Structure 1
Amino acid sequence: MKRLISLLTLLMTLLSATADDTFWLGADISGTSAIEAFGGQLYNAQGEPCENTKLMKEYGLNAARYRVWVDPRGGFSSKEDVLRLALRAKEQGMAIMIDFHYSDWWADPGKQNIPKAWEQMTYEEMCQALAKHTHETLQLLKDNGVDVKWVQVGNETTNGFLWPMGRATENMAQYAGLTQAGYEAVKAVFPDAICIVHLDGGCDPKRYKFIFEGLKEHGAKWDMIGLSVYPYWDIDAGLTKTEDETLEKAIANINQLWDLWQTPLMIVETGYDADRAEDGKLWMTRLINAARHQTNGHCQGIFYWAPEAEGHYRLGAFRNHRPTAIMDAFKEAASKQ
């Protein structure tokens, strides 16, 4: 009996370790609602109509990411819209990441606009509003049976968010306080959710040093560091000269960030020019392999941003409303899980 108990204990340990070692292959598919609302249709490689979430699952993705805006135009990426999409991901057995932009529209390193309803608020009032918005969104998901594995407290907050209130170069203490308000609101609803602070320019350690030292100094918490890794944008910004340099520097930064902060990491955004799909497949394969095998397990996954987007956005992964070869990199990686 003792031997049987020991064997069962060992088996449970091994199963637990396997679960913890999952490498997450995901995509931000927040644009699905807009495509459908305007009459768009996506197709699989065989030309058969296919809903986007199901299509991602067919390509081996095990996670989906959704952005949340506060009071968005047309209702896209509202908390109600996110619930509708998250229920589809749940049905496909996919883990879910929620990305709070804390804005009524796009938030990124070039713009972090305060929601219109919050514009006249004091710092203390804005902390309360941010916490309330975070709590209500996550509670809506929880009340409808949706579990949330990761939550981004801000999107690409390379210079903070909610400008000028939380602009990091001018008000690091307030950016940290707003981040902490979000962190605490997440934990109040989903105590086990992993809170992510996400910056762009994953190849550039200086911006990560600035933000995370500032957050630490002012008492803000995070559970995971999220990075954007885009060769196109890094080269355009002069951060790197080649795609190889972007890859090498991003992996080096991931390893350095682990050494500094001892918190896991994830590439929560990446993309490649879909007009160069075969090159994109090769690059994505290299990025996935490097993140998976050259970071000692500290990088826990990769999310492609808006693969279904095309026309107005060149770094998706579809053409003619169908997946390009770029998505094959994910399917092949999933087959090796």
Structure 2
Amino acid sequence: MKCFALIALLITANVSCKKNVKGETQLYPAPDPVGTYAKGADVSWITEMEAAGKKFYNNAGEQQDIFKILKDKGMNTIRLRVWVNPSSGYCNTADVLAKAKRAQAANMRLLIDFHYSDSWADPGQQNKPAAWANQDFATLKTSVYNHTVEVLTVLKNNKIVPEWVQVGNETNNGMLWNDGKASVNMKNFADLVLSGYNGVKAVDPATKVVVHISNGYDNGLFRWIFDGLKNNGAKWDVIGMSMYPSASDWAAKNTQCLTNMNDMISRYGSEIMICELGMPVSDAAACRDFIKDLMAKNKSLPNNKGLGIFYWEPQSYNSWKDYKLGAFDDSGKPTVAMDAFLP
């Protein structure tokens, strides 16, 4: 009877019982249903941080699994980057699967972020994977498709299907340079995006495809990229944005971002997601206010077109990898910036 009573209690409380990474039993709130607003974080560094001995604590100072801490702070979604053949092994398919399993065990939803590179892809670098470096363009398109299908199939075979998939990361000037450099050949960039899109839909047609550009306040940049993609036959479901303002200019940039988000909806009919955001950890209170304001603006978009908002690597305390835009303090506890995600 005690067992049945416990099960009934868990159902009534809308929680589930899961094993954490240490094999300890923990209670997690049930996942938010598909269609609810996504509040999340990219924690792709987590396995590397844990291997280096980093530990994480709730605000009471109790050591906990990072996924539970984030969940208890109101987050319901995890974003994970994918690299093709990284030298360290981190962010390869096996590492992504391990982290995705932990996100699923914590009843969190999933956004997968393909960089189509062996390392960082961003506005300043979009390097081809070494294995693709000498491929002609037709083969390159096939490689994008095959890599997308292979990774998502590994996840699906483990009963993990992401709600969203990015085809490229901060592709302000295209990806897989120089073949897919937008300022050189927008048609090539569009063809690569379409290859990624088709790969995603081949594994699960319900998964939404995101094209992600940084500087969400820069309407001219977004019109150039998405006009170019549309005019050259690319497809996408969601427009993704990054926002990294300062404590002094976040209000102005959020206002510009709202104008841009509304323009993207009226121009292309797309849904909008803030795939990355951050602010110096030393400005935690300003960061909290920035996030709450941007979240409200994203939620205000017509027809529920605002899908969600993601902090980029909030757990990177002690300036991990010299990154200073996290949202945990030097003792490994969340700063007040994380309170922005609370209900």
Q: Same fold (TM over 0.5)?
A: yes
Question: Which residue of the partner structure matches residue 168 of structure 1?
Answer: 182
Question: Which residue of the partner structure matches residue 109 of structure 2?
Answer: 95
2:309 is the alignment partner of 1:302:
yes
Cα distance in 2, alignment partners of residues 128 and 21 from structure 1: 32
2:127 is the alignment partner of 1:113:
yes
Identical positions, percent: 40
Indicate which of 250, 254, 269 corresponds to 2:276. 269
**1:20–1:42 CA distance, 2 compared to 1 (3 A):** closer
How far apart are 1:294 and its partner, in Å? 5.1
- For residues 190-243 of structure 1, the C-alpha deviation after alignment (integer angstroms, 9 at most, x for no partner) is 1100000000010001111111111111111001100111113xx9xxxxx822
Cα distance in 2, alignment partners of residues 277 and 295 from structure 1: 30
Cα distance in 1, alignment partners of residues 270 and 229 from structure 2: 14
Question: Which residue of the partner structure matches residue 295 of structure 2?
Answer: 288
Give the TM-score of the pair, scaled to structure 1: 0.89
Counterpart amino acid of 2:250?
E
Question: Which residue of the partner structure matches residue 50 of structure 1?
Answer: 64
Question: Which residue of the partner structure matches residue 91 of structure 2?
Answer: 77
2:231 is the alignment partner of 1:221:
no
Cα distance in 2, alignment partners of residues 67 and 142 from structure 1: 17
**1:20–1:37 CA distance, 2 compared to 1 (3 A):** closer
> Runs of 4 or more off by more than 6 Å in structure 1?
none
Q: Judge which range, 25-34 or 49-58, deviates more.
A: 49-58
Question: Which residue of the partner structure matches residue 158 of structure 1?
Answer: 172
Aligned residues: 308
CA contact (8 A) 2:152 2:161 kept: no
Cα distance in 2, alignment partners of residues 20 and 135 from structure 1: 23
Cα distance in 2, alignment partners of residues 296 and 128 from structure 1: 36
Q: Provide structure 2 residue ranges, at least 5 long, that are not aligned to the other structure.
A: 1-31
How far apart are 1:286 and its partner, in Å? 1.5
CA contact (8 A) 2:194 2:235 kept: yes
Cα distance in 1, alignment partners of residues 260 and 249 from structure 2: 16
- For residues 163-210 of structure 1, the C-alpha deviation after alignment (integer angstroms, 9 at most, x for no partner) is 001000001111111111111011110110000000001000111111
Partner SS state of residue 41, structure 2: strand
- For residues 10-59 of structure 1, the C-alpha deviation after alignment (integer angstroms, 9 at most, x for no partner) is xxxxxxxx956511101101010110111111111111111111211111
Question: Which residue of the partner structure matches residue 11 of structure 1?
Answer: none
Counterpart amino acid of 1:147?
V
Question: Which residue of the partner structure matches residue 319 of structure 1?
Answer: 329
Question: Which residue of the partner structure matches residue 211 of structure 1?
Answer: 225
2:54 is the alignment partner of 1:40:
yes
Counterpart amino acid of 2:326?
G
Cα distance in 2, alignment partners of residues 22 and 40 from structure 1: 32
How far apart are 1:295 and its partner, in Å? 5.0
- For residues 247-305 of structure 1, the C-alpha deviation after alignment (integer angstroms, 9 at most, x for no partner) is 10001100111000011111111111111112221222212122223555221110111
CA contact (8 A) 1:71 1:115 kept: yes
Partner SS state of residue 307, structure 2: strand
Question: Which residue of the partner structure matches residue 15 of structure 1?
Answer: none
Aligned-pair Cα RMSD in Å: 1.5
Q: Judge which range, 20-29 or 311-320, deviates more.
A: 20-29
CA contact (8 A) 1:63 1:94 kept: yes
The 5 Å alignment of 1:102-141 reads 102-141=116-155
Q: Provide structure 1 residue ranges, at least 5 long, that are not aligned to the other structure.
A: 1-17, 236-240
How far apart are 1:92 and its partner, in Å? 1.3
Cα distance in 1, alignment partners of residues 286 and 65 from structure 2: 26
Counterpart amino acid of 2:334?
P
Give the TM-score of the pair, scaled to structure 2: 0.87
Counterpart amino acid of 1:146?
I
Indicate which of 25, 48, 61 corresponds to 2:39. 25
Q: Judge which range, 270-279 or 184-193, deviates more.
A: 270-279
Partner SS state of residue 184, structure 2: helix
2:286 is the alignment partner of 1:279:
yes
Counterpart amino acid of 1:47?
G
CA contact (8 A) 1:227 1:267 kept: yes
